[in-house]
Amino acid sequence: MRCPQCGTRDTRVIDSRDLDESATIRRRRECPACSTRFTTYERVEAARLVVVKRDGVRQEFDRDKLASGLAKALTRRPVPDDAAERAADEIEGELRSAGQSEVPSSRVGALAMEKLRALDHIAYIRFASVYQSFEDLEDLKREVDQLFAEGSPKKGKRTA
């Protein structure tokens, strides 16, 4: 597998794991020449997953970018260390199992908000305030009031 950064052919696999009940194998690879890390997916029918942004720009789905966005929202919140990684894997699994090669970025954002909402309300508000860019304080207050009305996520609950 060629390094996307420098073109070196001899990259090595540093991690391998099954996604969505083994239909997909995800491999993390590292280039020995430039240390770039990247991810490859092996499927029965190789499917690209492209995210279409609101302005029409298309980008390859970046699971690690999603995981780091989730991790940022979950910083110092009382959730398991791997919560962001798990949520990113779950979101990716859901996107890929839908079987479409293109998904709108709003779908990815909605899934991320759904996962965070079930994990931790503060993280959810952090993420939503960036992602949805609340128009004003009233919008934010409405969202917070709604969360209060629903109560806290159950401790130790897994989002499956």
Contact set with Zn ion (CB under 5 A): 3, 5-6, 8, 31, 33-34, 36
At closest approach, how far in Å is the CB of 7 from Zn ion? 7
At closest approach, how far in Å is the CB of 27 from Zn ion? 16
**Nearest to Zn ion of 5, 129 (CB atom):** 5
**Nearest to Zn ion of 10, 18 (CB atom):** 10
**Nearest to Zn ion of 38, 41 (CB atom):** 38
At closest approach, how far in Å is the CB of 32 from Zn ion? 8
SS3 for the chain is CCCCCCCCCCCEEEEEEEEHHHCEEEEEEECCCCCCEEEEEEECCCCCCEEECCCCCEEECCHHHHHHHHHHHCCCCCCCCCHHHHHHHHHHHHHHHCCCCEEEHHHHHHHHHHHHHHHCHHHHHHHHHHHCCCCCHHHHHHHHHHHHHHCCCCCCCCCC
**Nearest to Zn ion of 13, 144 (CB atom):** 13
At closest approach, how far in Å is the CB of 145 from Zn ion? 50
> How do beta strands 58-60 and 12-19 pair?
unpaired
